[in-house]
Structure 1
């Protein structure tokens, strides 16, 4: 318990623990509340009481802990139409997106932008992709082009090949007629 709420400063027979706002925050991050931390520290105390400065430190750190939160999100859906956002959040076909309302006009999706766009379109909506700058982006389909022609050939090569093939054919016809007589 002390390792989660304090920093060990010495080793040996007389161990010293230093409580700091960072070490108390570490305990709060691991799941303690101000009350559970205070109770655990009081139980670990040799005197059965918590020093007043440590009580203040725990209380002050707990007061600011969690005032801001980080929300995992793969992408954000926003609209000026709050009723449309509410409709999307309640839509059964969009459950896989794990939509969560952050504000009346903002949802976050647990899925990446491409998957979110696909799901919204499959559900009959017409979303547009927005760049990180806030400007709408134009999605372009990949263009399939034929391969570029190979290296340029000698324009007379085809004629030479035709003459050679025709010459072989004429020679085989002559040998066939002369061999048959």
Structure 2
């Protein structure tokens, strides 16, 4: 393992996020350990906190990386999609969450302290997910729906997210529902149809 002098601060930040992300994928938020990340990269836990400042900032950076990978995953799905891009978007949302459940859940398990704002860079990176949704919604709604698209996108993300959460935590299985993805897609189509009618 390289000695401390072998890494710049920026290189060290990248290394910590990379190994932290792997650790989060393996154990999830509840069992995540900054000390374990430090051990994996051959540094002290004090070095980790020296780079990020606080545990919350470390988790924030790891979760932002998940958002970045998630957005890239959705772009790839859309690039390979046939005519039904809305279906590709909803299915891609579910598929990423299912394949990366510990990372995906960590995004929502972690909360910044109430008095600590989201850093602008992280906020912008995370917003890419909603931007992708807004862009796809804009292609299926009339031009007159323009001003309503941001709010509708946030609502549809919440709808799909709720279905996805119930699918992953077993709630839908307990209800006897075998195809949560199809349910989520149906709700999205209904909302888009209603929004289209209102915009006409």
- Normalising by structure 1, we get a TM-score of 0.17
Q: Which structure carries more relative contact order (alpha carbon 8 Å, separation 6+)?
A: 2
Greater fraction helix: 2
- Normalising by structure 2, we get a TM-score of 0.16
Determine which structure has more spread, i.e. the larger CA radius of gyration. Answer: 1
Greater fraction strand: 1
